[in-house]
């Protein structure tokens, strides 16, 4: 009798479960999963035009792996991640630590650092392009240099990374700051008595204590960086001579699929990108066991 | 003696802290200042070498040029409506799903949740053409509804609110059950109110990301009257190419409402974002 | 349970509210058409034409939607796939063959047969008709307008340098010497030779007697000696001190440089002139336009050429309101509609005899431009070069030229690559058909 009652309750719970996840799951299936399956299928096809596909097996992948532009785009994307994730997170952490110190106008500083977050990316990239302008840009004028920030293939990616870091620093700093504020003061006091210096304290207390927040921030930043498109597209348009040294995988995907209409090879690039994101995520989750501290 | 040197080093570290913060703030704020200064210059003035810092006069021509080229009133309205609807849908559906994933037992839960996780790894650009075709088939391309469409459900929201529900102790739900609440009542009466701060965080997050979405509005809505601020601004670049004073004026006009909102609600904004870091 | 129904009710209301904002309330018994274009500046002209049509047909409502160039094509192709194309839209020569050959566009060859079987031949130029023709020779659009590229120059800089304004007899040599003189005296840039095709090296190749695509559009002519001569001259201008580098143009377009009085000359398309007059009030009266200079020693021909292109109005082959849409574009091709287009300053009408109505685009300004030269240039204008594989090769070819400009390959190497790209893509396309 009793077990029957439980099972009705369990059944009911199950029904509620399905009912409550239904809108989200159905929505995701239609809006995202189905298009992704189509993308995978298209990556094995040649796009003849207007949604007509011809199955060609692995040709798109074979061509893709032989294409130097593709490898450069992969390299650019990874380099962009290296520039934005460690450097960006380091700077954000620095800002968070400074803001966590006993300073006046903390709110004011926080407001300023967070400001780029509420600005349209189109506006952000436009003003930076103007600042970076090699001829009339204020940056070169201030320092009396002549660097072609956006058109020189050697520095253009760096310029994009600078804008990316500038845009995200406030966001990441706020995340990290909240982690810092959760650390009880007593830890520091105790270690001070033990005679630990600031630097020791940072490595012994601060870093382990905020490692979970740091991990979330890094995962989010890495995902965004691997998928970067809007920012580079707005900074470096297709006629820019530095394009091949800057374009990310998704940018290349956009040019193949949307501009050249080769949706087959474009889809192969998209699948490759998802693969990289997947691998990077798995590695992060494995790696976190080594350094993220969930004990406290 | 010892004490004095301690105080000295403390003072030095305070000075360094302020210096670093001020330097950082200058770097952060400079592009905005430069935007404001440039927006008031003529094109020839903006391209002088050496550059002039201040515009020769306060010029509003660039602003009227930008206002003439873009229907800002419509764009403000579209952006606000899009954000409101996206937030409502994200909060409502994600709360339901987040609760179910965190607190209810049902078969295939892990598999279904993996769909949510997977979506977060996919680049949104691959959805643009298929989703546009859905919107076109349904017959509401070029409407506010089309702007909202990809935000009907939110994988991130589901993931994020699931975390919030996981943090609520099991006993709370059990107590509600003993009080005779069914699952739905437990959810709406007891659980949902407990996640208020997470919902606020999701609201901010959804709003900021909806606001900065560039490609989707451009593709799905054909007319400038139906554009959001971010996308409309991108088309201004198509019209004025490298005429930076006008572009800067347009940028300022597009940023203004969000910046004002932010300054008013910055506490909520920042606390909201801080929440998304999770535990 | 009550709670659920209340929540469901709220959601339903929200959805309803959202869809009512969608404004799909076409319940007024009228035929609603959408008309999609990619140029905001032409919207008033297009609207005026639609108003003229709906005045005669009160049961039809036409909504003009102006989008931006890049998204226009992404969207149009996606819409064509799901058979949700707008009822009426502009077609560009670059894309027309792709759409027409795939059967996406309605055949309008016999649209005017009841009036006059030779309607098109009588009222439109050969270039206009070619621009609207599919590979099968049928017409897939009603000619809308025509344009050409010309020189824009700064009168004050010419005066300051003591150089005569460009005239009909100007040659490449004059272009170079004037540029040099202006640069030496005023320090301003001379002719700003930008890496572009239609407003770049194409006309120079034709001026020298060469060609980009053969008459039958099946092979490229990049490596023809005359084409090489023209392109070499054009690309070579970048080596002079008076011409900024291509990286400069990436950050500052020739138009921006010109209207901020940094450079003295560049090549512009006439379709941009009204908005340039409008957008740069402080520059009015300081600049004028002239014919493109001619090649002094062409390998064949008289050394004159400019590229001319034209758009057309098309409708989907399987549109849901095909009848009405066809009737509207039929009207768009009449003298009345083309006049309205011209008088609103939207573009130079394709309809022969109504071209000059476009002059009224400049009526509101006291300052004048030498518009005659644009109409005179049509006498020797060459149709902008496109074939059905254009969407595939166009950007690849520009990439090659970018590499030449960047010094990554020499010109001949680049031209051979360009030749090969166009030939391969074209052959592939022809094999598919």
Please name which of B6, B11, B21 lies closest in space to residue A197, comparing C-alpha atoms: B6
Same domain, C126 and C201: no
Q: Are residues C412 and C316 in the same domain?
A: no
- Using the predicted structure, report yes or no on whether residue C221 has a pLDDT greater than 90: yes
The number of C-beta contacts closer than 8 angstroms across A and C is 54
* Mean pLDDT of all residues belonging to chain C: 91
| Claim to verify: residue C416 and residue C290 sit in the same structural domain | yes
DSSP 3-state of C341: helix
Which residues from chain A sit within 8 angstroms of residue B187, using beta carbons?
A: 20
Q: Write out the two tokens for C394.
A: 């166009």
* Cβ contact C251–A48 (<8 Å): no
Tell me if C247 and A151 make a contact (CB, 8 A cut-off): yes
What's the whole-number mean pLDDT along residues C329-341?
A: 95
Give the residue among A163, C290, A24, C200 at the shortest CA–CA distance from B113.
A24
Output Rg (C-alpha) for chain A, integer angstroms: 24
Of B29, B105, B121, the CB nearest to A278: B121
**In contact, C154 and C264? CB cutoff 8 Å:** yes
Beta strands in C75-183 (DSSP E): 88-91, 142-143, 145-154
Asked if the model's pLDDT at residue B53 lies above 90, the reply is no
Q: Does residue C400 fall inside a structural domain?
A: yes
Residue ranges in C333-406 assigned as alpha helix (H): 335-343, 372-377, 390-405
Residues of C in contact with A238 (CB under 8 A): 395
Q: State which residue of chain A sits closest to B39, comparing Cα positions.
A: A127
Q: Please indicate, yes or no, whether residues C57 and C75 belong to a single structural domain of this protein.
A: yes
Question: Which of these, B183, B156, B155, B168, lies nearest to A20 by C-alpha position?
Answer: B183
Chain A residues near residue C247 by CB distance under 8 angstroms: 134, 148, 151-152, 241
Contact B223 C67 (CB under 8 A): yes
B18 plus B117 within the same structural domain: no
3-state secondary structure of C108: coil
Do you find a cis peptide bond into B267, omega within 30 degrees of 0?
no
CA-based end-to-end distance of chain C = 62
Question: What is residue B188's predicted lDDT score, i.e. its pLDDT?
Answer: 86
Same domain (yes/no): C78, C190:
no
> Pick from B259, B230, B253: which is nearest to B66 by CA?
B253
- Of A120, A253, A257, Cβ closest to residue B255: A120
Task: Indicate whether C188 and C152 sit together in one domain.
Answer: yes
pLDDT in tens, A177-213: 888 888 878 888 888 888 777 788 888 888 888 888 8
The answer, yes or no, to whether residue B47 has pLDDT greater than 90, is: no
Return the pLDDT at B164. 86
Window 201-260 of C: residues touching B by CB (8 A cutoff) are: 251-253, 255-257, 259-260
Residues 129-188 of chain A with CB under 8 A from chain B are 130-131, 133, 135-136, 138, 141, 166, 169-171, 174-179
Could you list the pLDDT tens digit for every one of the 296 residues in chain A? 444 556 888 888 899 999 999 999 999 999 999 999 999 999 999 988 888 899 999 999 999 999 999 999 999 999 999 999 999 999 999 999 998 888 888 888 888 998 888 888 889 999 999 999 988 899 998 888 889 999 988 999 999 999 999 999 988 888 888 888 888 788 888 888 887 777 888 888 888 888 888 888 898 899 999 999 999 999 998 878 888 899 999 999 999 998 888 899 999 999 999 999 999 988 888 888 888 877 64
pLDDT of residue B173: 81
Does residue C275 sit in the same domain as residue C316? no
Asked whether the beta carbons of C132 and C312 are under 8 A apart, the reply is yes
> What residue of B is the nearest CA neighbor of C12?
B89
B74 and B29 part of one domain? no
- Helix (H) or strand (E) holding A155, with range, is none
A170 membership: H or E segment, kind and range: helix A156-181
pLDDT of C25 over the 60 cut:
no
Q: Report whether A207 contacts A249 (CB < 8 A).
A: no
pTM: 0.90
Residues B114 and B233 placed together within one structural domain of the fold: yes
Q: Find the CATH number of the domain harbouring B106.
A: 1.10.3720.10
**What pLDDT sits at residue C1?**
47
- Is residue C12 assigned to a domain? no
Question: Which residue segment(s) compose the domain that C96 sits in?
Answer: 31-144+310-353
| Of B24-28, C5-9, C272-276, minimum mean pLDDT range | C5-9
For residue A16, the chain B residues in CB contact (below 8 A) are 100, 104, 182-184
Query: How far does A207 lie from chain B, in Å, by closest CA?
Result: 15
CB pairs under 8 A between A and B: 252
Which residue in the block uniquely carries the two structure tokens 């077609």?
C91
Q: Interface of chain A against chain C, CB under 8 Å? A: 48-51, 129, 133-136, 148, 150-152, 237-241, 243, 255, 258-262
Distance from CA of B197 to the nearest CA of A (A): 14
A196 vs chain C: nearest CA distance in angstroms? 53
Residue with tokens 């297009």: C46
Lowest mean pLDDT among A190-199, B24-33, C144-153, C226-235: A190-199
Number of domains in chain C: 2
> E strands, C235-339, where?
263-269, 287-290, 307-309, 312-314
Q: Are B67 and B129 in contact (CB under 8 A)?
A: no
pLDDT attached to residue B182: 80
Together in a domain, B56 and B13: yes
Model confidence at B276, pLDDT cuts 50, 70, 90, reads low
Nearest to A211 by CA among A295, A291, A282: A291
**Distance to chain B for A160, nearest Cα, Å:** 15
Average pLDDT, integer, range B193-212: 87
To test the contact with chain B by mutation, choose from A36, A123, A124 the residue with the greatest count of B C-beta atoms within 10 A, namely: A123
CB contact under 8 Å between B126 and A267, yes or no, is yes
Whether A134 sits inside 8 A of C246 (CB atoms) is no
Query: What are the angstrom distances between the C-alpha of C307 and each of A293, B11, C149, C350, C371?
Result: 68, 72, 6, 15, 17
> Does C11 fall in a domain?
no
Does C365 reside within a domain? no
Cβ-based contacts of B126 with chain A (< 8 Å): 35-36, 39, 253, 267, 270
Q: Give the helix/strand (H/E) hosting A54.
A: strand A52-55
| Structure confidence at residue B2 (pLDDT) | 53
Are both C290 and C336 inside the same structural domain? no
In C, which residues are within 8 Å of B43 by CB distance? 256, 259-260, 280
Last residue of a domain, one of C287, C318, C353: C353
Question: What are the residue ranges spanned by the domains of chain A?
Answer: 2-42, 70-291
The neighbour count for residue C289, using CB atoms within 10 Å, is 18
Q: B24-33: per-residue pLDDT in tens?
A: 999 999 999 9
Taking each helix axis from N to C terminus, what angle separates B61-69 and B229-240, rounded to the nearest 10 degrees? 110
The reported pLDDT for the residue numbered C390 is 85
pLDDT computed for residue C250 by the predictor: 87
Please identify, among C320, C338, C353, the residue that sits at the C-terminal boundary of a domain. Answer: C353
Residues B82, B42 within the same domain:
no
Domain extent at residue B150? 64-276
With CB atoms and an 8 Å threshold, state whether A123 touches B255: yes
Number of domains in chain B: 2
Considering only CB atoms, B219 lies closest to which of C75, C262, C281, namely: C75
C26 touches chain B (CB under 8 A): no
Is the CB of A115 less than 8 angstroms away from the CB of B259?
yes
| pLDDT for residue B1 | 45
Q: Which of B44, B133, B184 lies closest to C260 in CB terms?
A: B44
Q: What is the pLDDT of residues B217-228, one digit of tens each?
A: 988 988 888 999
* Cβ <8 Å between C77 and A261: yes
Q: What is the CATH number of the domain that holds C325?
A: 3.40.190.10
Per-residue pLDDT tens for B9-18?
778 888 888 9
Q: Are residues C330 and C422 in the same domain?
A: no
B25 and A103 in contact by Cβ < 8 A?
no
| Cβ within 8 Å, pair B137-C3 | no
Residues above pLDDT 90, as percent of chain C? 70
Q: By C-alpha distance, which of B159, B134, B121, B115 is closest to B216?
A: B134
Query: What gap in Å lies between CA B64 and CA B76, rounded to an integer?
Result: 17
Is residue C405 a contact partner of residue C196, using CB atoms and an 8 Å limit?
Answer: no
Of B44, B89, B242, nearest to C252 by CB-CB distance is B242
C361 with C348: CB under 8 angstroms?
no
C345 lies in the same domain as C383: no
- The H or E element containing residue B185 is helix B183-185
Tokens of A63: 């061509």
- Which chains are within 8 Å of C by 3+ CB pairs? A, B
Residue C13: C-alpha distances to residues A45, B191, C8, C10 (Å): 43, 24, 8, 5
Closest-CA residue in chain B for C261?
B44
C126 touches chain A (CB under 8 A): no
pLDDT of res. C282: 87
Choosing from C318, C353, C388, the residue where a domain stops is C353
The predicted structure's pLDDT at residue C5? 62
Class of domain A70-291: mainly alpha
Q: Are residues B21 and B97 in the same domain?
A: no
Residue C132 lies in a domain: yes
**Dist. CA B128–CA B115, nearest whole Å:** 19
User: How far is the C-alpha of B198 from the C-alpha of B158, rounded, in Å?
Assistant: 11
Judged against a pLDDT cut of 50, whether residue B279 lies above it is answered with: no
ipTM of the complex: 0.88
Average pLDDT of every residue of chain B: 87
CB contact under 8 A, A123 and B251: yes
Domain co-membership, C195 together with C250: yes
State the smallest CA–CA distance between residue A276 and chain B in angstroms.
10
Distance CA A146, CA A182 (A): 46
Whether B161 and B243 map to the same domain: the answer is yes
Nearest to C395 among A50, A150, A260 (CB): A260
* Cα–Cα distance for residue pair A289/A281, rounded to 1 Å: 13
Residue C16 burial (C-beta neighbours within 10 Å; 0-12, 13-18, 19+):
exposed
Residue B58 has pLDDT above 80, yes or no: no
Q: Could you tell me the pLDDT band of residue C184, with boundaries at 50, 70 and 90?
A: very high
């Amino acid at each position: 009798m009793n077990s029957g009652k439980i099972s009705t309750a369990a059944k009911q719970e199950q029904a509620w479960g399905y009912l409550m996840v239904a809108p989200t799951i159905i929505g995701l299936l239609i809006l995202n999963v189905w298009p992704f399956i189509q993308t995978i299928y298209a990556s094995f096809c040649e796009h003849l035009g207007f949604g007509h596909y011809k199955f060609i097996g692995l040709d798109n992948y074979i061509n893709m792996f032989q294409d130097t532009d593709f490898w450069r785009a992969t390299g650019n994307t990874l380099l962009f991640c290296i520039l934005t994730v460690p450097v960006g997170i380091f700077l954000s952490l620095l800002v968070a630590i400074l803001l966590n110190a006993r300073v006046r106008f903390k709110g004011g500083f926080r407001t300023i650092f967070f400001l780029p977050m509420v600005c349209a990316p189109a506006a952000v990239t436009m003003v930076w392009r103007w600042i970076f302008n090699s001829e009339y840009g204020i940056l070169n004028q201030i320092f009396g240099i002549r660097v072609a920030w956006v058109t020189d293939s050697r520095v253009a990616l760096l310029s994009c990374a600078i804008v990316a870091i500038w845009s995200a620093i406030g966001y990441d700093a706020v995340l990290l700051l909240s982690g810092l504020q959760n650390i009880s003061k007593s830890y520091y006091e105790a270690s001070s008595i033990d005679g630990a210096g600031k630097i020791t304290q940072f490595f012994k207390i601060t870093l382990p204590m905020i490692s979970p927040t740091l991990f979330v921030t890094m995962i989010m930043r890495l995902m965004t960086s691997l998928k970067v498109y809007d920012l580079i597209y707005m900074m470096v348009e297709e006629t820019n001579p530095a394009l091949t040294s800057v374009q990310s995988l998704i940018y290349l995907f956009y040019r193949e699929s949307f501009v050249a209409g080769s949706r087959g090879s474009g889809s192969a690039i998209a699948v490759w990108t998802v693969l990289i994101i997947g691998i990077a995520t798995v590695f992060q989750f494995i790696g976190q066991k080594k350094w993220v501290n969930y004990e406290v | 003696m010892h004490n004095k040197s301690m105080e000295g080093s403390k003072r030095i570290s305070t000075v360094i802290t302020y210096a670093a913060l001020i330097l950082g703030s200058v770097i952060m704020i400079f592009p905005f200042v430069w935007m404001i200064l440039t927006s008031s210059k003529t094109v020839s003035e903006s391209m002088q070498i050496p550059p002039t810092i201040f515009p020769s006069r306060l010029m509003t021509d660039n602003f009227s040029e930008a206002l003439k080229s873009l229907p800002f009133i419509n764009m403000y309205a579209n952006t606000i409506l899009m954000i409101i609807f996206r937030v409502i849908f994200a909060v409502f559906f994600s709360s339901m799903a987040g609760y179910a994933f965190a607190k209810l037992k049902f078969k295939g839960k892990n598999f279904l949740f993996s769909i949510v996780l997977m979506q977060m790894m996919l680049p949104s650009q691959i959805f643009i053409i298929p989703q546009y075709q859905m919107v076109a088939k349904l017959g509401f391309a070029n409407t506010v509804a089309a702007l909202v469409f990809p935000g009907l459900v939110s994988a991130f929201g589901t993931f994020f609110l699931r975390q919030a529900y996981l943090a609520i102790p099991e006993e709370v739900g059990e107590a509600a059950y003993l009080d005779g609440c069914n699952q739905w009542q437990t959810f709406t009466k007891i659980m949902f109110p407990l996640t208020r701060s997470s919902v606020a965080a999701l609201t901010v997050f959804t709003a900021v990301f909806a606001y900065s979405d560039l490609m989707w509005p451009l593709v799905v809505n054909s007319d400038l009257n139906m554009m959001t601020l971010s996308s409309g601004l991108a088309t201004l670049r198509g019209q004025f190419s490298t005429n930076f004073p006008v572009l800067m004026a347009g940028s300022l006009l597009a940023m203004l409402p969000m910046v004002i909102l932010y300054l008013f609600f910055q506490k909520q904004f920042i606390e909201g974002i801080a929440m998304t870091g999770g535990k | 349970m009550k709670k659920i129904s209340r929540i469901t009710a709220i959601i339903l209301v929200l959805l309803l509210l959202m869809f009512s904002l969608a404004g799909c309330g076409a319940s007024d018994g009228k035929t609603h058409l959408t008309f999609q274009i990619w140029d905001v500046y032409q919207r008033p002209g297009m609207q005026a034409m639609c108003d003229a049509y709906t005045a005669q047909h009160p049961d039809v409502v036409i909504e003009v939607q102006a989008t931006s160039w890049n998204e226009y094509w992404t969207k149009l192709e996606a819409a064509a796939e799901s058979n949700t194309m707008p009822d009426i839209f502009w077609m560009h020569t670059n894309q027309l063959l792709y759409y027409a050959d795939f059967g996406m566009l309605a055949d309008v060859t016999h649209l005017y047969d009841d009036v006059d079987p030779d309607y098109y031949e009588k009222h439109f130029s050969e270039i206009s008709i070619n621009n609207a023709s599919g590979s099968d020779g049928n017409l897939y659009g009603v000619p809308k307008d025509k344009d050409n590229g010309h020189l824009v120059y700064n009168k004050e800089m010419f005066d300051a340098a003591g150089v005569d304004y460009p005239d009909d007899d100007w040659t490449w040599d004059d272009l170079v010497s004037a540029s040099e003189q202006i640069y030496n005296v005023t320090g301003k840039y001379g002719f700003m030779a930008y890496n572009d095709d239609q407003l770049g090296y194409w006309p120079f190749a034709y001026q020298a007697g060469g060609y980009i695509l053969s008459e039958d559009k099946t092979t490229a002519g990049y490596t023809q000696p005359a084409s090489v001569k023209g392109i070499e001259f054009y690309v070579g201008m970048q080596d002079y001190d008076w011409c900024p580098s291509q990286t400069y143009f990436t950050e500052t377009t020739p138009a921006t440089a010109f209207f901020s009085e940094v450079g003295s000359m560049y090549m512009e398309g006439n379709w941009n002139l009204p908005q340039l007059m409008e957008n740069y009030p402080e520059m009015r009266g300081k600049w004028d336009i002239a014919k493109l200079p001619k090649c002094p020693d062409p390998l064949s021909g008289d050394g004159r050429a400019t590229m001319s292109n034209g758009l057309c109005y098309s409708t989907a082959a399987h549109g849901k309101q095909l009848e009405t849409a066809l009737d509207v574009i039929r009207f768009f091709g009449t003298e009345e509609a083309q006049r309205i287009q011209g008088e609103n300053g939207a573009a130079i009408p394709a309809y022969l005899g109504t071209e000059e109505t476009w002059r009224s685009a400049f009526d509101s300004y006291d300052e004048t431009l030498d518009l005659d030269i644009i109409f005179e240039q049509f006498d020797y204008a060459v149709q902008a070069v496109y074939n059905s594989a254009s969407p595939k090769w166009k950007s690849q070819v520009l990439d090659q030229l970018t590499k030449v400009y960047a010094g990554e390959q020499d010109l001949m190497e680049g031209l051979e690559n360009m030749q090969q790209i166009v030939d391969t893509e074209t052959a592939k396309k022809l094999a598919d058909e």
